[in-house]
Chains A and B, each alone.
Chain A
């Protein structure tokens, strides 16, 4: 899954609670948003997945009792929004047990799923356990493109799951990750969402981490595509009114200022990876020198408040110029650390999306290449093939070492 729920769109705990005020290096607020990436196993092979490209090397998954301990410790600190994600969380046979415990603790529970593995018996069992909401991902409005992008035949199954979500009276969020290959279908995607009865639709432009980073050259849309898609979305919003809330997450490569990633690392968001690694953002595993704590060895309180990794990017003492003296540093926190690292090799640099960054040309050049690719007649450019998220691909990418640093 792409589109981390907290990043720069729609209603988020950070926006709604003024958690930003509470963030300082001295006294961080509680981890209001807890995301459990229960497994990296996934039946899909999405080209834009943000999971680490070396996921096959990640150690054994936490056991049920570990997850339950994490839930209790985080809830005691004040965590209240719970995301259950992956990989595909339905691959965990103890999902019902985890949800029942989370419900008893008072979490609002969001299941973020591809729908693969969902049956009527299971969706009912999840409801009985206390699941509050299901976010279902689609990859496109057409069976052909959905199935191509995931390298599976799952389109019809997803439509069936959408009907089950309605039948069992869950609020339905439809999530579609946008990129060059499907962004021109936004009108059809919205039409599909309306037919399926979605109350919320997230049109989340791809963020370039993990597998998406490997495929950036083929996924980045052109500015013209983006503007057309936004115009179509706006027209649809006016037609549909308040029946459907539509969030359009603009790809930050086209912005002049970076996203306020995670509302600042260590501010409100805590993610736990399948192997127990605690991360201040979904992608933090890639950051060098972070020495991320593991819930197998530390409790959540000491991880959140005391670990060097979670304090590393709190406050603004770590910032370099031009962030260090920028009046907007308390608004965007210097942008995304992972993007700074991926593009410039230094996680302390200003996110190059910012046009004040001396590295901004790295972003504008990538956009220019996308423009050129979009303008060229079909077949005129020699594109590299898309790399599908795959267990078999995962290990060679790691062995090659620098495949993510082209």
Chain B
């Protein structure tokens, strides 16, 4: 996989659906005959992947929302993993 630019705009991959499930108190990723329950960090990142925001926007938004700094590494690593697993894709 090529290097992930912080100007990239990740979006939930085609054929996948992200939704909040109250019964599981978690975001889940739904796809044909399967489901991935996301932990709270993954849920927070994925729910911001709308194909409009860039990776840099998502990092800034998360740092603001959770009053933290230095999240870029963690976010980039997760987005890269989610791209490899085809949970996310990049909007051109």
B15, B17, B24: the one within 8 Å of A78 (CB): B24
Min CB–CB distance B41 → chain A (angstroms): 16
Q: What is the CA–CA distance of A108 and B30 in the complex, to the nearest angstrom?
A: 7
Query: Which residues on the A side are within 8 Å of B28 (C-beta)?
Result: 17, 80
Interfacial residues, chain B to chain A (CB-CB below 8 A): 14-15, 17, 19, 21-24, 28, 30-37, 86
Contact (Cβ within 8 A) B37 A110: no
B17's partner among A5, A32, A132, A200 (CB-CB below 8 A) is A132
A16 to B21, CA, bound (A): 14
- Interface SS of chain B: strand
> Would you call B36 and A80 a contact (CB within 8 A)?
no
B21–A80 touching, CB < 8 Å: yes
Band of interface residues on A: 20 to 34
- Complexed CA–CA distance, A199 and B15 (Å): 10
Task: Give a binary string over A196-222; 1 marks a CB under 8 Å from any B CB, 0 the rest.
Answer: 000110000000000000000000000
Interface 9-mer from A6-14, A61-69, A256-264 = A6-14
User: Closest CB-CB distance, A31 to chain B, in whole Å?
Assistant: 10
B17 touches A108 (CB 8 A): yes
A9: nearest residue on chain B (CB-CB)? B33
* Bound complex: CA A135 to CA B34 (Å): 13
Across the interface, do B23 and A171 meet the contact criterion of CB distance under 8 Å? no
When the two chains form their complex, are residues A17 and B31 in contact, meaning their CB atoms are under 8 A apart? no
The 6 closest A-B pairs by CB, nearest first: A78-B23, A11-B34, A108-B30, A171-B15, A17-B37, A133-B32
A78 and B21 contacting across the interface, CB-CB below 8 Å: yes
CA distance A196 to B37 in the complex (A): 31
Query: Restricting to A1-44, which residues have a CB under 8 Å from any CB of B?
Result: 5-6, 10-13, 16-18, 30, 32
With both chains docked as a complex, state the minimum distance between the C-beta of B26 and any C-beta of chain A, in angstroms.
8
CA distance A21 to B35 in the complex (A): 16
Contact between chains at B35 and A242 (CB < 8 Å):
no
CB distance from A170 to the nearest CB of B (A): 8
In the complex, the chain B residue whose C-beta lies closest to that of A32 is: B35
* Chain A residue contacts of B14, Cβ below 8 A: 171
Would A110 and B19 count as touching, CB distance under 8 A? no
Give min CB distance, A16 to chain B, whole Å. 4
